[in-house]
Amino acid sequence: MIRFYHVFKSYNRDAYSLSDVSLSVRPGSFVFLTGASGAGKTTLLKLIIREEVPNKGQILVNGQNVASLPVTKIPRLRRSIGVVFQDFKLIRTKTVFENVTFVLKTLGFDLKERRRKAFSVLKQVGLQHKTHCYPLQLSGGEQQRVAIARAIVNDPVLLLADEPTGNLDPDMANEIMNLFSKINMHGTTVLVATHDRDMIQRMSHRVITLHQGRLVHDTLPQGRLDSH
Amino acid sequence: MLQFLFFCFSEGLTNLWRSRVLNLLSIGTMMLAIFILGAFLLLGTNLNRALAHWERQIQFHVFLSDAVTPEQTDNLLGLLRSDPSVASARLIDKAEARKRFDDDYADYADISQNMEINPFPASIQVALASGADESRFRQLQDKLKKQAGVEEIHYDFELFKRLHFFSEFIQWTAYLLCGIVVFASIFTISNVLKLTFFSRRDEVDIMKLVGASRAYIRGPFMVEGMLQGLFGAGMGLVLLFLALFTLQNYLNWDTNSLLGQFDLVFLNPGTIWILLGGGCLVGLFGAAISLNQFLHEHISYQ
C-alpha cells in the first residue's frame, strides 16, 4: 500500500525532517507511527498525501509514484486517502452532514446517495442523530468522530491519522482507537501517528518509530523486527 | 458539467450569504458604479431623443428681396412644396411680418407704426420633413440661393451644433466614466474577495486536503464574484429606474415646458442586458485577479 525508498525531506539546508527513510506498509494492515515531537511523523504523512514533496527518494502509494505525480492528479490521490487531523479540521460554517458529504459533492454524488453514505458512516461513528449540528456545538470527541466519518465516507483504501487522540480524554481516545480498529477490520489500511505510548501498547499493532527524522525501530506486535 | 455548475452556484450563493456584510461593500460599489454610468447613458439617450424631436419641429426662413415679383414668389413656393424634404412652405408677406413684430414686441410697436415704409421683408416659412438632416438642408439652401428674389436664408444651425456637441460630450463622459467605474469595481470586488478568501483559507485548506480539485475550489469563488457584479448591476439599474420615475413625476411640468410634451425614457433593453452582463464580467474579472494572487500562495498543490 505504502512504500518509501530512501526518502529525504528537509525544509531548510541545516536539518532533515526525514532522512533516508525506507519502509513498507501492506494493504489492510494497522500501523502506528511514533516518535517524539519533531521526529518527522507529520512530515511522513504529508509526503503520503503529497502535501510535501521529498528532496530525494521515491514514494509509492497504492501503486502511484507520489513524488512525481502530476499536480492535476493530486486531488484524485487525496480522494483515495482518508485523513484525520489532531485539530479535526472541520469547516465551522457547515453542518456535520455538509462536512461529511463535502468530498462526495465534489465527486458528483447526488443528494440521495450523499444522504445514504453520510447516514451510514455517521451511524458507524455514533453520530447519526447530530447531522444538523455545527462543529462548535459538538464536544472534542464528537468533532473527531465527524472528522473520521468524513475521512471514511468515500471508502478510502488508506486512512491516515495525525495525533487523532491528542486533544481527547483517555476514554474518548480509546473509543476513537476502537473505531479505527473497526475500520481496519473492513479492509482499510490504517496508519496512525501518535506519541501516546500507552495507547500503542494496549492496541498491539505494528509500530514504526522515528527519531530526529530517521526510522529507528520497526516493531511487530510480537516484538520482532519487520523486514519491510 | 451540470453537477459542477450546480455545485459552484450552490456554494457561491451560500458563501455570498454567509459573508453578506462584507459582500455588501462590493455589491454597493457596483450598484453605485452602474447607477452613475446608467445615469449618464440615460442623459445621453434622452438628450439625443430631445434633439431629434426638436429637429423634426425645426423651421427655417427664406427672406425675399423687396423687388420680388408675385411670379417669383409662386415659383419659389412651388419649388419648395415639390421637394420631398419639405413638410410645408408658407408665405409671410410684409404686412404679416410687421404684424408679427408688433405682436411679439408690443413695447416697441410704436416704432414700427411710426415708420412710413414697412421695413420687414416678406419671407417663406419652411418646415422640414421628418428625417431631413443638415446635408439635405444644405442642398436645398444651395438650390434656393440660385433662385431670383431670394435675399437670405436663415436657419440657426449653431444652436443645434452646440446641442449636438453637448450630447456627444455627455456620451463621451459616460464612456470615460465607464472606464473609471469598471476599474473601481474590479478593484473593490477583487479586494473584497481577497478578504473573503483570507477569512476562509482554513476552509480552502480542508477542501484541498480532502481532494477537491482546483476547479471545485475556484468555481464557487468565481461564481461569488460574478453574482456580486450581477446583483450590484441589477440593484444599480433598479435604483436608476426609481430615480427616473421619481424625477419624471416630480418634474413633469418642467420637462413638458422645456421639452414640449416629451417623455423621458429608460435605457433600452439592449443597454440593460449589456450593463447586467458587464456587471457579471467585472465580477468575474475581479474574482479571477484576486484568485490568481491568492491561489498561488494558498491553493497550489505542491
Tell me the range of A174-178, B80-84, B221-225, B272-276 where mean pLDDT is highest. Answer: B272-276
Q: Is the dihedral of CA B168, B174, B178, B184 positive or negative?
A: positive
Taking only the tens place, the pLDDT of each residue in B246-299 is 887 776 655 555 555 567 788 889 999 999 998 899 888 888 888 877 766 655
* Cβ neighbours of B45 (radius 10 Å): 20
C-alpha A63/C-alpha A77 separation (Å) is 11
User: pLDDT-derived band of residue A47, with 50, 70 and 90 as boundaries?
Assistant: very high
Instruction: Residue B289: name the closest of B203, B197, B175, B216 by CA.
Output: B197
What is the structure's pLDDT at A227? 43
B211–A77 C-beta distance less than 8 A: yes
**Buried b / exposed e along B123-141 (16+ C-beta atoms within 10 A):** bbebbbeeebeeebbeebe
CA distance B165 to B200: 51
Determine, for residues A103 and B211 on separate chains, whether the beta-carbon distance falls below 8 Å. yes
Between CA B198 and CA B298 the distance in angstroms is: 9
Fold adopted by B59-154: Alpha-Beta Plaits (3.30.70)
Q: Bigger pLDDT: B296 or B72?
A: B72
The confidence score (pLDDT) of residue A226 equals 47
Report pLDDT for B297: 64
**Nearest CA-CA distance, residue B172 and chain A, Å:** 47
Between CA A8 and CA A11, with CA A9 as vertex, the angle to 5 degrees is 150
Give B91-148 pLDDT, tens digit per residue: 998 888 888 888 888 777 777 777 778 888 899 988 877 666 677 778 888 888 888 8
* B3·A50 Cβ contact <8 A: no
Residue with the larger pLDDT of the pair B132 and B18: B18
Using left for φ > 0, alpha for ψ between -120 and 50, and beta otherwise, residue A20 falls in: left
Q: Quick check: pTM over 0.80?
A: no
pLDDT of A143 > 80? The answer is: yes
Model ipTM value? 0.77
- Grid cell in block for residue B231: 446583483
Q: N- to C-terminal Cα distance for chain B?
A: 26
Q: How far apart are CA B214 and CA B222, in angstroms?
A: 12
Q: For B46-85, b where at least 16 C-beta lie within 10 A, e where not — what string?
A: bbbbbeeeebeebebbbbbeeebeeebbeebbebbeebeb
Q: In whole numbers, what is the pLDDT of chain B averaged over residues?
A: 81
Q: What per-residue confidence (pLDDT) applies to A105?
A: 81
Find all residues with CB under 8 Å of A96, minimum gap 6, and list them. Answer: A122, A127, A130, A131, A132, A133, A134, A135, A138, A146, A149
Kind of pairing between the strands at A2-9 and A56-61: antiparallel
At A119, is the pLDDT very low, low, confident or very high (cuts 50, 70, 90)? Answer: very high
* pLDDT per residue as tens digits for the range A187-221: 899 999 998 888 888 888 899 999 988 999 888 87
Mean pLDDT, residues B33-61: 78
Least CB–CB distance from A74: residue in B205, B216, B301: B301
Where do the domains of chain B lie? 2-54+160-298, 59-154
Q: Is A87 on the interface with B (CB under 8 A)?
A: no
- Rounded Cα distance, B174 and B186, in Å: 18
Chain B residues touching residue A79 (CB < 8 angstroms)? 210-211
Interface test with chain B among A71, A102, A104, by most B beta carbons within 10 Å: A102
Q: Give Cα B39 to chain centroid, integer Å.
A: 8
pLDDT at B11 over 70: yes
The answer to whether the Cβ–Cβ distance between A71 and B301 falls below 8 Å is yes
Among partner residues B206, B212, B214, which is closest to A89 by beta-carbon distance?
B206
CA A61 to each of CA A44, A180, B117: distance values in angstroms, whole numbers, following the listed order: 12, 20, 115
pLDDT of residue B145: 86
The distance of A219 to chain B (nearest Cα, Å) reads: 30
> Cβ–Cβ of B207/A89 closer than 8 Å?
no
Minimum-distance CB partner of A75 among B3, B205, B211: B211
Q: What percent of chain A has pLDDT over 70?
A: 97
Q: What's the pLDDT tens digit per position in B166-205?
A: 777 877 887 787 788 778 878 877 787 777 777 777 778 8
Q: Which of B204, B179, B184 is nearest to B291 (CA)?
A: B204
CA atoms of B157 and B162, how far apart (whole Å)? 9
Q: Closest Cα of chain A to B213: distance in Å? A: 5
pLDDT at A186 over 70: yes
- Of B166, B164, B181, the closest CA to residue B282 belongs to B181
pLDDT above 60: residue B300: no
